[in-house]
Amino acid sequence: MPLNNASVVIAPTSITASGGTALTWSSLGNLGNSKITLAALVDTDFRLRRTIDVNVKAPSVNANSPNGYTQARVSFLFKKPKLLANGKVTVNTARLEFAYDVETTQAEVQELLDIAAQISCDGDFTPTVKTLSLN
């Protein structure tokens, strides 16, 4: 389906993964209070270990911003190394990033989360990632 006819649910009652196998993510350590790296320790070859980098940036005073503060930011970077046929390793990635104003309500933040979840798994959007086509 073309993107121009895509649809998502606003205020869904839930967005839940089903089926599959649970994968536990363990901390490889924090970098201060703003970054943590999580790893799938079931991946015993460290070269091919899946990781998630989580970064959090609290708003700060900024006179140039509309309300005097920068936006709060949270980003998730999933990395999945892949062993190529030539023996070299490349890293496939997926990134989720949220940025919102300090006056944003929790309900509005939840809407960002809900829409991002649907974009990443809804059949209207996934063909674009798989085929690299906007049609």
Domain locations along the chain: 24-103, 105-135
- Bigger pLDDT: 7 vs 57: 57
pLDDT value at position 79? Answer: 98
Strands 89-100 and 51-57: unpaired
Those residues whose C-beta lies under 8 Å from the C-beta of residue 131, and which sit 6 or more positions away, are none
pTM of the model: 0.87
Tokens standing for residue 43: 């991946």
Per-residue CA distances from 27 to 31, 40, 92, 134 (Å): 11, 9, 20, 37
pLDDT value at position 6? Answer: 86
- Please determine, for residue 46, whether its predicted confidence score (pLDDT) is greater than 80: yes
Quickly name the fold that domain 24-103 has.
MS2 Viral Coat Protein (3.30.380)
> What is the rounded distance in angstroms from the CA atom of residue 23 to the CA atom of residue 40?
7
